[in-house]
Amino acid sequence: MSTLSDVSNALAETVAQAGAGIVRVEGRRRLAASGIVWSADGVIITANHVVRRDEQIQIGLPDGQTVTAAVVGRDPSTDTAVLRAETGDLTPYVEATKDEMGVGHLALALGRPGRTVQATLGIISALGDAWRTSWGGQIDRYLQTDVVMYPGFSGGPLVNANGRLLGMNTSGLSRGVSLAVPAATLSRVAESLLAHGRMKRGYLGVSTQRARLPHALRDTLGQKSGLLIVSVEPDSPAETGGLTMGDTIVSIGDTAVRHHDDLLAELTGSHIGTAVPVKIVRGGQAQTVEVMVGERPS
């Protein structure tokens, strides 16, 4: 009995200490949501889907005060928004290390949809590799828990038993599964949004659909499918580079392109303004053209 009591007291202490890094976010007409203190000078990270306006967002601080905030930038593809609150001396989280994140480890989902901290306990039920959301956002690691996501928990922190940050709770990435945006993804997205106000993503200006390659080329290219270009936007990088409707993209650089996700994975912000070799099949023959990657319009 004493062991259970010790565990209970330890978890309660973790929640009490972690509460200093959780804020209430009033950015929509209905229920308030939660936010994560990202830096002491007022930077807050929350879920994009809970912030329906850009200005005059109300932030409920851990000490009970209410201040206003504005959106610095959004990345709907990872359901992440960065706010800047008119305050300072906040308490940011310490990010958990890889050794502190494993299947079976305890996880606490925390929220502050009201004045006080709320918590629910579970375990990390699945960890996987990087994955891409249905909106094209790159998530550094698949992080699934069995915690119950109560109303208003979106945007709040997922922490381990030591109170270190594992990620951000969100109900905006998948229905019926408790997923969290890992801290590594939050860090990468926040860095870009704070620097540019947006996520910079590469852009070719083509619409594609998956297509099977001719049998004669499958062995030569080492793949069975590519992406058939069904339209090319006027004055786009693709048109300037010589891509046309009916071409089938089979690789960019050294990376084979078999699915739409393969194409998105290569159009990162780091490639903007650089010429990349795009291998295509045109008229039954494989050839390579160079295309200058542009920046995806907002």
Active-site residue numbers?
A: 49, 79, 154
| Cβ atoms within 10 Å, residue 254 | 8
Task: State which amino acid sits at residue 35.
Answer: G
Q: How far is CA 44 from CA 140, 210, 279, in A?
A: 20, 40, 43
